[in-house]
Amino acid sequence: MFHLELGKYRNIVLSIALFIFFDLAVLVLNFVISSQISNDALMINLAGRQRMLSQRITKTALQVEYRIRDGKPFGNELTEFKKASTVFDQTLTAFSQGGRTTSGTGDEVNLAAIEDPTAQGILREARDIWTPLITAAKSLTDNADIMQASQLARLMEAANLQLLKLMNDLTTRVEQIASDKATMLRTVQVTGITLATINFIIILFHFIGHLRRSDRELEHAHKETADILRTTQEGLFLLDPELKIGSQHSTALNSILGVATLAGADFIDILRARVDQKTLKTAREYLDLLLKHDVKEKLVTSVNPLNRVEMLLDQGPGKPETRFLQFAFNRVKEKGKITHLLVTVSDITRRVLLEQELKATEDRARGQLGMLMEIIQIDPFALHQFLRAAADGLQNINGLLRDQSEPVTGRSGLLRDQSEPVTGRSSLVNALFRQAHRIKGDAAALGMSSLADAFHQLEDLLSELREQPSLSGEDFLPVTVQVKGLFEQIETIENAVIRISQVRGVATVEAPRPQHDPNTAKLPFVQRWRDFANQIATRHGNTVEISYKGIDVATLPEGLSSAVNTIINQFIRNAIVHGIESSDARKALGKPEAGRLSIYISQNDDGSVELSFRDDGRGISVQRIRDTAIAKGRLTAEEATAWDNRRIVGLIFEPGISSHAAVDADAGRGAGLDAVAELVVRFGGNVRIGTTPNEYCHFRVHLAPRAIVEGPAAT
């Protein structure tokens, strides 16, 4: 049976078996002879040591004699003499009869007796000389007298040269024996290699030629396939109906999929570790469709879920790599039946990244162009004032983040003094919220939508922190990164302003204060308020009109004018989002279709500022504020019932309190009036509120032209 299975390869198998036999024979002989040579090398070393020991024995015998004659202790010399004599005797016995002795490193070694007759003759002669010496040596004790020591020393001196010559002859003879064995080993190796070579030549000329001729076409086809699979830059492989990868695949496939061994691997298992569950499920269903004979291939090709798929590949410990791959599937049929799927995989990461980079570049270019257009349209003085205030606000945010361990100032409504500390990171979040929301409102009021969006993203991060039950320093890291980006964005805007100023022939960023215009309704800041109000009203589906009377805000000291502008921006946003009804609702109430916002600002002789803001909207709903405070856990139901309306209304200045149903760019975070309250506190002022349901809401603000000292009172 075995003979029939070998067929035409029988002679080759026999020749290979003969080749292996020669190799094994050579290896066995090599091992045996090498072991003998190793033993001979040890004997050569020990034979050489015998010469040294002979001299040491003679030397120590003389030292013992001299020290006894001089009346000195000779214990150390006697110990060395006996030790050397013992080793010499053991080694001589091991050479002659075999046995154990001590090596040069102090380890015990086992020697086989030297079988060479010549070497044995040398050993017998040495033994004859050594026997009386070792007998005399053993008789020498610590109580030996000068006569015993002198007699032993003379014996050693007389025998030393003879022993040296015999041990030298022994060393030479053992070296010769080892040399003969080395020659034998080389002969065995040459003979084995020669026989193996002859056998190989027989195989080469008598069999390989025949096999190559019979298999030429198969090898040629295989070579072409291998060349294709090796050189193609795409991944090529076959999937069987069980979705197992075939044994042949392109070399590039390993690096594309990040898998070392692919032959026989389960394709779904490979995908499972690299794509999300939804993609995996869709891919499995798609492959099942492709393997069904009654489903047209062109019909399912267009729904290939792996046409462009993001995969996470493992490139070693701690080195995941994201790639974008494209899989294409084609059916392989035999006699009309689907036997395999031919899969082509392309790494399109570079193309996708270039597309993403191009899109990002286009977005940046559009953003920078949009920002430039926004800057050009803003009044230079207002822009300069905003940039300075924004930079100061970011510095405040940065300071809060840098020193989280310090108490953060807080307020209960507007009743708490600024100097009263409120510890805890939740108070820190509220403080950050106030700064961010104020800058965001001012940016939006100036029409700097891109910067306002960036601060809105910062508010998103702070909102997530506000919702967490406990906070650690690491939780603020994303906020720190976002603040760094905002610093860079402000710096970019300042650089753009400098370049625009240079083009216009202005040498500094400092913009001149606008000249006072007696017609305050046409002042730039009033127009900015109107534009800001119209933007918010458009987003919320209503219309508003702003009327203004009062001083030119630009004539106020810069810090005070910036605070006034911020407060008005927050009031405008608050009125349109919370107060002004839709046009239809206003008509039903008998109100004008457009909501009316009335602003009045005056300055007292002491430099303080009076600010009045009134809207004709739905007013403040005390019940809605009460319900919101209960829902957010700020009040219990009992407290909400016990508090009077005035105290409930004061909650609108608390951080996180907002009656807006959803969070958007304009409201829902409870930060706008909180920021107003913080500014009022900073300028030592107060706020009074008047409201009637469905008629109006009126804020009266008093600001002092000095820094924070006292907290304002709410009315």
> Residue 202 pLDDT more than 50?
yes
276 is a domain residue: yes
Q: Which domain holds residue 647?
A: 520-703
pLDDT tens track for 339-389: 888 888 888 888 888 787 777 766 666 666 666 666 666 767 667 667 777
Q: How far is CA 72 from the centre of its chain?
A: 78
Say if residue 508 is exposed, middle or buried (CB neighbours under 10 Å; 0-12, 13-18, 19+).
exposed
pLDDT bucket at 699, cuts 50 / 70 / 90: very high
Q: Looking at residue 445, which CATH number applies to its domain? A: 1.20.120.160
* Statement to judge: residues 20 and 137 lie in one domain: yes
Residue 528 CA to residue 522 CA, distance in Å, equals: 10
* Statement to judge: residues 656 and 552 lie in one domain: yes
**Lowest mean pLDDT segment, chosen from 308-317, 319-328, 571-580:** 308-317
> Residue 698 pLDDT more than 90?
yes
Name the more confident of 422 and 553: 553
- The CA-to-CA distance between both ends of the chain, in Å, stands at 110
pLDDT tens track for 135-161: 877 777 777 788 878 888 888 888 888
Residue 637 CA to residue 623 CA, distance in Å, equals: 12
pLDDT reported for residue 407: 42
**Lowest mean pLDDT segment, chosen from 74-78, 455-459, 613-617:** 455-459
Residue 490 CA to residue 546 CA, distance in Å, equals: 30
Residue 546 CA to residue 600 CA, distance in Å, equals: 11
What token pair was written down for 59? 């030397």
Rg (CA), the chain: 50
In 651-675, which positions are buried (b, 16+ CB within 10 angstroms) versus exposed (e)? bbbbbbbbbbeeeeebbbbbbbbbb
Strand partners, 548: 599
Q: Looking at residue 258, which CATH number applies to its domain? A: 3.30.450.20
Considering the chain, what percentage of its residues have pLDDT values greater than 70?
A: 81
Considering the chain, what percentage of its residues have pLDDT values greater than 90?
A: 6
Task: Tell me the average pLDDT across 609-620.
Answer: 92
Nearest CA among 507, 312, 476 for reference residue 399: 476
pLDDT bucket at 400, cuts 50 / 70 / 90: confident
> Residue 512 pLDDT more than 70?
no
Strand partners, 328: 344
364 is a domain residue: no
pLDDT bucket at 613, cuts 50 / 70 / 90: very high
Task: Tell me the average pLDDT across 317-327.
Answer: 75
218 is a domain residue: no
pLDDT bucket at 611, cuts 50 / 70 / 90: very high
* Statement to judge: residues 177 and 66 lie in one domain: yes
509 is a domain residue: no
* Statement to judge: residues 443 and 552 lie in one domain: no
* Statement to judge: residues 331 and 439 lie in one domain: no
What token pair was written down for 464? 């997530």
Name the domain boundary from 443, 475, 504. Answer: 504
* Statement to judge: residues 591 and 647 lie in one domain: yes
pLDDT reported for residue 370: 63
Residue 483 CA to residue 504 CA, distance in Å, equals: 31
pLDDT bucket at 664, cuts 50 / 70 / 90: low
* Statement to judge: residues 572 and 431 lie in one domain: no
Name the domain boundary from 354, 382, 408. Answer: 354
Name the amino acid, one letter, at 584: D
574 is a domain residue: yes
290 is a domain residue: yes
What percent of the residues of the chain are helix, what percent strand, and what percent coil, each to the nearest 5?
60, 15, 25
> Residue 229 pLDDT more than 70?
yes
Domain count, the chain: 4
Residue 340 CA to residue 353 CA, distance in Å, equals: 33
* Statement to judge: residues 666 and 524 lie in one domain: yes
Scanning 505-557, the segments in alpha helix (DSSP H) are 524-540
**Lowest mean pLDDT segment, chosen from 78-92, 170-184, 453-467, 510-524:** 510-524
pLDDT tens track for 95-111: 888 888 887 777 888 88
Say if residue 532 is exposed, middle or buried (CB neighbours under 10 Å; 0-12, 13-18, 19+).
buried
| Helix or strand holding residue 314 (H, E) | strand 309-314
65 is a domain residue: yes
Contact yes or no for 701/695 (Cβ under 8 A): no
209 is a domain residue: no
pLDDT bucket at 708, cuts 50 / 70 / 90: very low
pLDDT bucket at 471, cuts 50 / 70 / 90: confident
> Residue 409 pLDDT more than 60?
no
pLDDT tens track for 425-436: 667 777 787 777
* Statement to judge: residues 165 and 35 lie in one domain: yes
* Statement to judge: residues 349 and 377 lie in one domain: no
* Statement to judge: residues 62 and 165 lie in one domain: yes
Residue 560 CA to residue 571 CA, distance in Å, equals: 17
Contact yes or no for 674/653 (Cβ under 8 A): yes
According to the per-residue pLDDT averaged within each range, which of 17-31, 387-401, 531-545 is highest?
531-545
CB within 8 Å of 125: residues ≥ 6 apart: 166
Task: Tell me the average pLDDT across 410-439.
Answer: 56
* Statement to judge: residues 319 and 265 lie in one domain: yes
> Residue 596 pLDDT more than 90?
yes
Q: Looking at residue 181, which CATH number applies to its domain? A: 1.20.120.240
Residue 465 CA to residue 435 CA, distance in Å, equals: 16
| Helix or strand holding residue 231 (H, E) | helix 216-231
Q: Looking at residue 628, which CATH number applies to its domain? A: 3.30.565.10
Half-sphere exposure of 590 (CA within 13 A, CB side): 2
Residue 290 CA to residue 481 CA, distance in Å, equals: 48
pLDDT reported for residue 48: 81
pLDDT reported for residue 406: 46
pLDDT reported for residue 79: 86
According to the per-residue pLDDT averaged within each range, which of 164-178, 489-503, 506-520 is highest?
164-178
Name the domain boundary from 477, 504, 531. Answer: 504
Average pLDDT along the chain: 78
DSSP 70: T
Nearest CA among 152, 185, 171 for reference residue 82: 152
Q: How far is CA 97 from the centre of its chain?
A: 70
pLDDT tens track for 39-67: 777 778 887 888 888 888 888 888 888 88
pLDDT reported for residue 635: 82
